[in-house]
Amino acid sequence: MKLLIPMDGDNAQEAQITPILEAKKWAELIIEEGEVVECNFHDDWRAIKPLPEAIIIKSDYEPITDFLEMAMMPLVAHFQKDIDEIVEAYLFKELHDMPV
């Protein structure tokens, strides 16, 4: 599974999720067999090929139309802040579906 997360920087240990419109970097996480096997940072999410299956967003009120058009599933990390917390919540199915 490949996840996309808007981040405030490109340090995997210190960066935190940020609203889509404030993203300075985009984290691309590849998760296999319950663990992150790759973490890459990009300036533009459109440069990622193939596109991730899901985007992790900070709130229910994010502008996600572009991501929906690309068939990405939006998941909301209401309480998680950094990559480790988000991955753990994803693996334990604690991220929320975005209300449509």
Please check whether residue 64 is in contact with residue 98, taking contact to mean a CB–CB distance below 8 angstroms: yes
User: Does residue 98 surpass a pLDDT of 80?
Assistant: no
Name which of 12, 73, 69 is nearest 46 in CA terms: 69
| Average pLDDT estimate for 22-42 | 97
Cα(49)–Cα(64) distance, rounded to whole angstroms?
19
Domain count, the chain: 1
Average pLDDT, the chain: 95
Span 48-80, pLDDT tens digits: 999 999 999 999 999 999 999 999 999 999 999
Closest CA to 90 of 45, 57, 41: 57
The pTM is what? 0.95
Give CA–CA dist 32/16, Å, rounded.
Answer: 22
Model confidence band, residue 100 (pLDDT cutoffs 50, 70, 90): low
**57: domain range?**
2-97
Element (H, E) at 85: helix 83-91
CATH value at residue 24: 3.30.420.130
